[in-house]
Structure 1
Amino acid sequence: MDESRMARTVSVSDGRMAIEGLSTGYVQDATRRFGLSASGLRFAGGFESRDGRLEESRRFLAEARVVDGALRRAGFEGETGAIGLTLRPLSQASEQPRLLLMLGYRDENGASRPFAEAFLAPAVFKALEADALSGLAQELSLSATTSLWIREEDRGRREGEPIDWYLGLDGDGRATQPARGFIETIEWRPRPLPVAVEIAPAPAPVPDAVHEAEEDWPETAAEQLGKINGSLRLLLLMLAFLLIIVAIK
Structure 2
Amino acid sequence: MRSMSLGDGRMAIEGSSARYVQGSARRFRLKAAGLRFVGGFESRDGRLEDGQRILAEARVADGVLRRAGFDDEVGAVGLTLRPLPASSEQPRLLLMLGYREENGAETPFAEAFLAPAVFEALKADMLNGLADEVSLGATTNLWMREEDRDAPQAGPLGWYLAPGADGRAIVPARGFIDGIAWQPLAKPEPSATVEAAAAPAPAAAHEAGAEEDWREDGLEQLRKLNWSFRLLLLLLAFLLLIIAVK
For Structure 1 versus Structure 2, the TM-score category normalised by the shorter chain is 0.7 to 0.9
Question: Deviations for 1:145-197, whole angstroms, at most 9, x for unmatched residues?
Answer: 10000111212310121111100111122211100000011000011112223
Residue 151 of structure 2 corresponds to residue 157 of structure 1 = yes
Residue 131 of structure 2 corresponds to residue 124 of structure 1 = no
Contact in 1 for aligned 2:24/2:150 (Cα 8 Å): no
Contact in 2 for aligned 1:35/1:67 (Cα 8 Å): yes
Question: Deviations for 1:13-48, whole angstroms, at most 9, x for unmatched residues?
Answer: 333111222110001124210000000011011111
The CA distance in 2 between the partners of 1:126 and 1:25, in whole Å, is 42
Q: Structure 2 matches for 1:74-223, cutoff 5 A?
A: 74-197=68-191, 199-200=195-196, 201-202=199-200
Please identify the structure whose Cα radius of gyration is greater.
Answer: 1
Please tell me the residue identity of whatever aligns with 2:120. K
Counterpart in the other structure of 2:23:
29
- Equivalent residue of 2:118, what SS? helix
Residue 39 of structure 2 corresponds to residue 50 of structure 1 = no
Per-residue deviation, 1:79: 1.1
Q: Normalising by the residue count of structure 1, what TM-score does the alignment of the two structures yield?
A: 0.76
Question: Deviations for 1:93-124, whole angstroms, at most 9, x for unmatched residues?
Answer: 11111100000000000000000000000110
**Root mean square deviation, CA, Å:** 1.5
Per-residue deviation, 1:130: 0.9
Provide the aligned length of Structure 1 versus Structure 2: 199
Please tell me the residue identity of whatever aligns with 2:75. G
The CA distance in 2 between the partners of 1:101 and 1:30, in whole Å, is 17
Contact in 2 for aligned 1:38/1:62 (Cα 8 Å): yes
The CA distance in 2 between the partners of 1:30 and 1:114, in whole Å, is 22
The CA distance in 1 between the partners of 2:150 and 2:124, in whole Å, is 41
Question: Deviations for 1:58-103, whole angstroms, at most 9, x for unmatched residues?
Answer: 1000000000111100122311110000000001011111100000
The CA distance in 2 between the partners of 1:56 and 1:185, in whole Å, is 24
User: Structure 2, unaligned stretches of length 5 or more?
Assistant: 204-246
Contact in 2 for aligned 1:19/1:173 (Cα 8 Å): no
Contact in 1 for aligned 2:139/2:175 (Cα 8 Å): yes
